[in-house]
Amino acid sequence: MAVAQLKEALLKAESLGYAYGDNPVFNDVSLELFPGEILGIIGPNGSGKSTLLGILSGLMKAKTGRVLLKGADILQMPRPKVAEVLGLSPQNPQLSNGMTALETALSGRYVRMGRNLFEDDKDLDAANKALLETGLSSLASRKCGQLSGGERQRLALARALAAEPQVLLLDEPTSALDMDHQLRVMEILEEFSGYNHRAVCLVSHDLNLSSMFCDRLVLLARGSALAQGRPEEVLREDLLETAYGVKVHLDQEPTRGRPRITLIPHPGPEKYRRGKTAFLPSAL
């Protein structure tokens, strides 16, 4: 990280603020994404993580502040130029049920095809490589409508990888995956960002996975970036309690020595006070 931060940020958010109508989501959020790193955006439901990713991708316009992609205001850049550098896989990616997995991965190449009407061998190679990396080669000719939720999620990642972007923005890329595929996806992202000119920014609710694989975290809560820094600087009991309203036990996971979080269940009466029984029949 120390080395990475000597370089210029690939993506920089300066004092971003956003509101849906009169409802403010966050204010004054600044962050930088450096080459060679994975940056995790974490925070409770509704804290604005997807909104922030939308603004970072240039698809949404912040109410205040600005986003710089390789030093240029992203909203002033022609969209095809942005798409050459930056890939986005949103929380609910649109996949066309009638297209095969290979066609879907290939569609990620459109941003690279320029004036060519048809894909060439390089495009096919990139799409096949992305399917291989995401463990989908054997399903290349399967229609998207016949894929499971986790396979669709991996295919959305394959489509983003096939474009060979420099910056990858991912909204909850592992949320539908079993633990084998969670690990594989995080390892793919680690390898992707390991090439020094590339970087990943991802949103996740999996704090332990984020702790293990992210170089830095931004904790979005209470209308701003409550904390940001290395996992051990952000995943602190006090900060997590402030952000999520839960008590956690922290220790070190044994493989990389990163913080590991164990949830402490609410004591009995507290459960009821906090309305945690909303899913129970009202008679209880």
Ligand X SMILES: Nc1ncnc2c1ncn2[C@@H]1O[C@H](COP(=O)(O)OP(=O)(O)OP(=O)(O)O)[C@@H](O)[C@H]1O
Q: Which of residues 37-66 bind ligand X (CB under 6 A)?
A: 43, 45-51
Provide the minimum distance between the beta carbon of 56 and ligand X in the complex, in angstroms, as a whole number: 12
- First-to-last C-alpha distance (Å) of the chain: 52
**Which residues, in sequence order, are bridge partners of residue 86?**
167
Minimum CB distance to ligand X smaller for 164 or for 171? 171
Residue window 235-264: x/- pattern of binding to ligand X, with contact defined by CB under 6 A = ------------------------------
Minimum CB distance to ligand X smaller for 23 or for 282? 23
Number of residues that bind ligand X (CB under 6 A): 10
Minimum CB distance to ligand X smaller for 46 or for 80? 46
Provide the minimum distance between the beta carbon of 155 and ligand X in the complex, in angstroms, as a whole number: 20
Q: Which of residues 16-35 bind ligand X (CB under 6 A)?
A: 20, 25
Provide the minimum distance between the beta carbon of 187 and ligand X in the complex, in angstroms, as a whole number: 24
Q: Which of residues 175-214 bind ligand X (CB under 6 A)?
A: none
Minimum CB distance to ligand X smaller for 136 or for 221? 221
Provide the minimum distance between the beta carbon of 224 and ligand X in the complex, in angstroms, as a whole number: 13
Minimum CB distance to ligand X smaller for 20 or for 195? 20
Residues that bind ligand X (CB under 6 A): 20, 25, 43, 45-51
